[in-house]
Amino acid sequence: MEPKHNIQRVDHRILSKTHKVIALGFATQGLGYATVMTALPSIKSRFRLSDDQLSLIILGVCITAALGSILADRIAVKLGSRLAIVTGFIFEAIGIAIAAFSPNVMLMIASFLVYGLGLGCLDAALNMQAVMMEQRLGKSVFGGFFACYTAAAFLGALIMSATVSTPLGATTALCIAVVIACITSIV
């Protein structure tokens, strides 16, 4: 009987760690998204974009996010949703980093499309992991994961508010989001 009890304890520890890592993924996604969205006024001003141009860029992000969801599914089926999460974070980090430092509007647009691909890939893959966690635990956990997302989104907006008036402006907050995404991708 004792060995079985130890196995259950180990399994519980693994589930607990996995639960925390998924929550961290949701939080990082929320922080990154809020940081990017709150950077839009600075980006609009920096590149002298019209409202229509900015709307088209956001539409492009939505379209590439849909493609990212498809990419996550393909990766998850062949290699697992964990790799899809890492892929999503990598695309997001690259997109945000390039947006932070892009010297021209075309590179900035391309960076937002890469970000959108990561956004969709990460969103789908995190939800896959959350569904598997619910199945393993036998109870609902999505509310907690989305609470992590929302709390971190609030933090991302606060970081932008605190850094937007500094000499580097929105770039500082975007770089913070990139660093956090990179760290989370290796956890």
What CATH number does the domain containing 87 carry? 1.20.1250.20
Is residue 46 domain-resident?
no
Q: What is the pLDDT of residue 66?
A: 98
Task: Give the residues of the chain that fall short of pLDDT 70.
Answer: 1-10
Q: What is the pLDDT of residue 137?
A: 86
Domain count, the chain: 1
Is residue 41 domain-resident?
no
| Cβ pair 89, 27 in contact under 8 A | no
| Cβ pair 113, 61 in contact under 8 A | yes
| Cβ pair 148, 26 in contact under 8 A | yes
Q: What is the pLDDT of residue 17?
A: 86
Is residue 14 domain-resident?
no
Q: Give, in degrees to the nearest 5, the angle at Cα 86 between 39 and 33.
A: 20
Is residue 3 domain-resident?
no
Q: Which two tokens stand for residue 151?
A: 């709390």
Is residue 38 domain-resident?
no
| Cβ pair 160, 35 in contact under 8 A | yes
Is residue 10 domain-resident?
no
Contacts of 62 (CB under 8 A, 6+ apart): 116
- Provide the domain limits for residue 111: 52-186
Nearest to 100 by CA among 55, 50, 39: 39
Is residue 43 domain-resident?
no
Handedness of CA 22, 28, 30, 36 (dihedral sign): negative
Residue 51 one-letter amino acid: D
Is residue 90 domain-resident?
yes
Q: Which two tokens stand for residue 135?
A: 């199945």
- The pTM (predicted TM-score) of the whole model is 0.88
